């Protein structure tokens, strides 16, 4: 019997950063990259941090760079230590490193502060004596009794590009690499198997797992193989029907072999081998949430945990299969359906609208609401957002222009309105409340009743594809247009009926794509471009700020915002650049809690918070601290009353009639329990750092929750 149960997140609205209030992370955490069982908890690694799920209590905690968690949000591997500590390998290429969490403190190891041979950690193994083996993209390190040893090609390691590690019952270390399979006896003897000297089906090994009978199972790019020390037996699409690209493998005490496969979201699945037959589980015949399965884990109770890939049109996430029922677990710190953020807007002081491929999300600081083509009239992927004076949201999509007033939708298309094309690149309101629309086939002006279209045949618009727009406070509309992907590119100023155009034929304006425009403090036009960096136009000259002549870190820029202090906030492919008129500062996912370096859009709200939409999640940043609102999160009529709030030393709890306190927990903003009390209705919080917390009281009739602020003594 198949049953899909979505377990709710217990801690409502405890989203991101710990005691530092400068950054927040909002992300769909359903792209599972690593799994481990440590004590009573299942730890899931994602490309946006770690999640722990207590299988006894159901409590879910989140750890990321905003919360002072692992050294990097891109998690590659997890292992448990002898004292219950958590070891985490993260990063890519030569960035990030190794992190250790003892339940209270995170410790980070990199090539700069330890004997770690390389920072891209891809595999971990912890022995019973506490020895930690670390596989990286270029070599292997071992951390034993405070000392480090490195193994590379010169040591006998058959290939330094390590992907997986496991140990047999005799203490031999087995090493999966991109160039074959290795075995090390821990002293001096190395043995190598590859597709040229053995029956190994492929040199690219993704995972290793020993069965109880001592047989090694090997996940490769050309199927899964078993190896008994003498013979390799390969199972692939031709002889077994399984998908050939096997990402992960594990075994259980019943003798079953589980293989997670997939190369993209369309093909793959989960397969079980009983020694004779392979059984296939797909997203259409089971509770599996995606066809791409990067990792599987068999826990101590023989439950199968499968981590799957999430994309904007595929669910993904973490599921448990006990042999009959499928259970899905929450691994997301925000209810975003897609992590590729393409547009942002604010409809009032507390509501943020988030556009992405295939969906529009409304976030009011507490609640998330998603609109897509399944539950609304949203006509396509969202590329631009604008809010009018009535606080209605206008949505430029790949399938037309949508107007949503919070209740009802109206769709404008080229078939039912004056819209010249359904593919919309940009939306901007001018100072008179007129909406300007840039499309794939010209520009349109809409006053709420009438449409006016400007195209290459009826106006001075030089090129048909209007990529970006900017109405300024002088009544001008600045228009960047282009002819296809590689054709003519122009910057135009439109005033009244007059067009003035600059292109490579009559100016120094180059062939770069202008992705965003803003008017600077002195009235100059500033442009974020692809290829030539930040460009300033003073009405006569085009002045470039690029990697070669300024402190900007990137010439491929997507978005530009200027705050009330005249600071420039610029997003591109290498992170976020801040320019204060004198100094440049770069924020990356390596030196800050930024979700991801590739940035599509930056928007600044009325509090001065910078919202940063990336290719892998949404960040919020305020160098002065993000203002927050605190409200009680218990249901009306069943409310936990607390006082004082804010609090400096003791927090008093007032329960509803008939309720008795069994246990009280204090939980920080990333979901970690930092204090625990038995049967107390007055708790000491004086030792807590200042910040926002949740108090959770377990009673004989369930849990009660409330938020409070801990202020400095």
151 preceded by a cis bond (ω within 30 of 0): no
Per-residue tokens: 307: 């981590």
Judged by average pLDDT, the poorest of 107-111, 605-609, 661-665 is 661-665
Judgement on whether residues 320 and 345 belong to the same structural domain of the protein: no
Give 483-509 pLDDT, tens digit per residue: 977 778 999 999 999 999 999 999 999
Q: Which residues contact 415 (CB under 8 A, 6 or more apart)?
A: none
Q: Are residues 324 and 349 in the same domain?
A: no
Considering the chain, what percentage of its residues have pLDDT values greater than 90? 72
DSSP assigned state of 204: -
Q: Is residue 335 part of a domain?
A: no
pLDDT average, residue stretch 612-616: 96
Pick the last residue of a domain from 329, 351, 378: 329
At residue 521, does pLDDT exceed 70? yes
As given in the structure block, the two tokens for residue 449 are 């009743």
Give me the pLDDT at residue 632, please. Answer: 41
In CATH, what number is assigned to the domain containing residue 433? 2.130.10.10
Residues 408 and 464 in one domain: yes
Condensed to tens digits (0 to 9), the pLDDT of residues 275-309 reads 999 999 999 999 999 999 999 999 999 999 999 99
* 300 and 416 both lie in a single domain: no
CB neighbours of 65 closer than 8 A, spacing ≥ 6?
Answer: 25, 49, 71, 72, 73, 589, 592, 593
Q: Average the pLDDT over 72-88 and give the result.
A: 95
307 with 388, same domain?
Answer: no
334 within domain boundaries: no
- 28 lies in which domain range? 4-329
Q: Is residue 237 part of a domain?
A: yes
Question: Comparing C-alpha atoms, which of 404, 468, 408, 458 is closest to residue 436?
Answer: 468
Q: Name the percent of the chain lying above pLDDT 70.
A: 95
pTM over 0.85? The answer is no
Over the Cα atoms of the chain, what is R_g? 28
- Structure confidence by residue, pLDDT tens digits, 436-473: 999 999 999 999 999 999 999 999 999 999 999 999 99
Q: Are residues 206 and 283 in the same domain?
A: yes
Q: Mean pLDDT throughout 254-264?
A: 94
pLDDT at 410: 97
Residue 638 pLDDT class (50, 70, 90 cuts): low
Residue 505 lies in a domain: yes
572 and 659 co-located in one domain:
no
Assigned domain for 42 exists: yes
Q: Is residue 602 part of a domain?
A: yes
Indicate the number of domains in the chain. Answer: 3
Both 498 and 449 in one domain: the answer is yes
Question: Quick check: is 111 in a domain?
Answer: yes
Is pLDDT of 71 > 80? Answer: yes
Look-up of token digits 């899905």: 328
Q: Are residues 512 and 592 in the same domain?
A: yes
Cα–Cα distance between 259 and 257 in angstroms, integer? 7
Q: What pLDDT, on the 0 to 100 scale, is given for residue 670? A: 66
Per-residue pLDDT, 278 = 97
Average pLDDT value for residue range 114-128: 96
541 and 417 in one domain?
A: yes
Per the CB < 8 A criterion, the answer to whether 394 and 435 are in contact is yes
pLDDT of residue 8: 30
Contact 584, 325 (CB under 8 A): no
Residue 591 covered by a domain: yes
CATH number reported for the structural domain that contains residue 675 in this entry:
2.60.40.10
Q: Does one domain contain both 311 and 347?
A: no
Does the pLDDT value for residue 74 go beyond 90?
yes
DSSP state for residue 311 in the 8-state scheme: B
Tell whether the model's pLDDT for residue 6 goes beyond 90: no
The answer to whether residues 65 and 157 belong to one domain is: yes
Over the stretch 652-703, which tens digit does the pLDDT of each residue have? 888 888 788 888 888 887 667 788 887 778 888 888 888 888 898 888 777 7
Q: What does pLDDT average to over the chain? A: 90
Strand partners, 466: 481
């Amino acid at each position: 019997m198949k049953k899909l149960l979505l377990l709710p997140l217990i801690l409502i609205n405890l989203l991101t950063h710990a005691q530092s209030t400068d950054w927040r992370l909002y992300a769909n955490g359903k792209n599972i990259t690593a799994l481990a069982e440590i004590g009573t908890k299942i730890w899931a690694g994602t490309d946006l941090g770690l999640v722990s799920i207590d299988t006894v209590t159901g409590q879910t905690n989140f750890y990321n760079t905003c919360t002072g968690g692992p050294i990097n949000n891109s998690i590659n591997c997890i292992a448990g230590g002898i004292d219950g500590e958590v070891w985490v390998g993260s990063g890519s290429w030569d960035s990030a490193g190794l992190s250790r969490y003892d339940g209270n403190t995170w410790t980070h190891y990199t090539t700069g502060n330890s004997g770690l041979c390389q920072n891209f950690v891809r595999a971990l193994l912890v022995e019973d004596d506490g020895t930690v083996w670390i596989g990286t993209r270029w070599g292997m390190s071992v951390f034993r009794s405070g000392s480090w040893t490195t193994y590379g090609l010169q040591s006998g390691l058959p290939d330094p590009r390590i992907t997986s590690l496991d140990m047999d019952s005799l203490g031999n270390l087995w090493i999966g690499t991109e160039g074959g399979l290795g075995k090390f006896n821990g002293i001096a003897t190395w043995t190598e198997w590859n597709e040229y000297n053995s029956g190994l089906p492929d040199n690219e090994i993704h995972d290793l797992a020993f069965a109880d009978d001592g047989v090694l199972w090997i996940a490769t790019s050309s199927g899964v193989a078993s190896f008994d020390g003498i013979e390799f037996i390969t199972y692939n699409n031709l002889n077994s029907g399984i998908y050939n690209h096997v990402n992960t493998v594990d075994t259980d005490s019943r003798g079953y072999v589980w293989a997670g496969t997939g190369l993209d979201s369309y093909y793959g699945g989960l397969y079980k081998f009983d020694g004779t037959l392979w059984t296939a589980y797909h997203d259409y015949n089971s509770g599996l949430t995606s066809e791409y399965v990067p990792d599987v884990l068999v826990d101590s109770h023989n439950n199968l945990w499968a981590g799957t890939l999430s994309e904007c049109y595929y669910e993904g996430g973490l599921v448990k299969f006990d042999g009959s029922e499928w259970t899905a677990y929450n691994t997301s710190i925000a209810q975003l359906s897609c992590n590729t953020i393409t547009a942002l807007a604010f409809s009032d002081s507390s509501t943020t609208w988030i556009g992405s491929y295939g969906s529009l999300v409304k976030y009011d600081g507490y609640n998330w609401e998603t609109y897509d083509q399944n539950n609304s009239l949203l006509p396509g992927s969202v590329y631009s957002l604008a809010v009018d004076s009535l606080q209605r949201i206008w949505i430029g999509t790949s399938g037309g222009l949508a107007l949503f007033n919070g209740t009802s939708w109206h769709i404008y298309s080229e078939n039912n309105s004056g819209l010249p094309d359904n593919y919309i690149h940009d939306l901007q309101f001018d100072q008179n409340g007129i909406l300007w629309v840039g499309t794939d086939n010209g520009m349109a002006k809409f006053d709420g009743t009438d449409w006016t279209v400007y195209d290459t045949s009826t106006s001075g618009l030089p090129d048909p594809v209007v990529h970006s727009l900017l109405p300024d406070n002088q009544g001008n509309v600045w228009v960047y247009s282009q002819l296809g992907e590689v054709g003519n590119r122009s910057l135009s100023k439109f005033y009244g009926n007059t067009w003035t155009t600059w292109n490579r034929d009559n100016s120094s304006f180059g062939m770069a794509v202008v992705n965003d425009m803003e008017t600077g403090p002195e009235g100059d036009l500033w442009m974020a471009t692809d290829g030539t960096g930040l460009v300033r136009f003073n009405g006569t000259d085009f002045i470039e700020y690029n990697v070669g002549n300024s402190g900007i870190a990137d010439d491929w820029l997507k978005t530009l915002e200027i705050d009330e202090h005249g600071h420039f906030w610029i997003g591109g492919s290498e992170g976020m650049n801040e320019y204060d008129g004198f100094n440049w500062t770069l924020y990356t996912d390596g030196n800050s809690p930024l979700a991801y370096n590739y940035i599509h859009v930056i928007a600044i709200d009325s509090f001065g918070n910078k919202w940063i939409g990336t290719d892998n999640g949404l960040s919020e940043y305020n160098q002065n601290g993000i203002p927050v609102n605190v409200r009680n999160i218990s249901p009306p009529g069943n409310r936990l009353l607390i006082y004082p709030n804010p609090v400096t030393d003791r927090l008093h709890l007032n329960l509803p009639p008939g309720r008795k306190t069994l246990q009280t927990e204090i939980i920080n903003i990333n979901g970690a329990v930092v204090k625990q009390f038995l049967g107390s209705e007055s708790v000491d919080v004086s030792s807590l750092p200042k910040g926002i917390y949740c108090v959770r009281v377990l009673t004989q009739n369930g849990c009660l929750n409330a938020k409070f602020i801990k202020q400095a003594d």
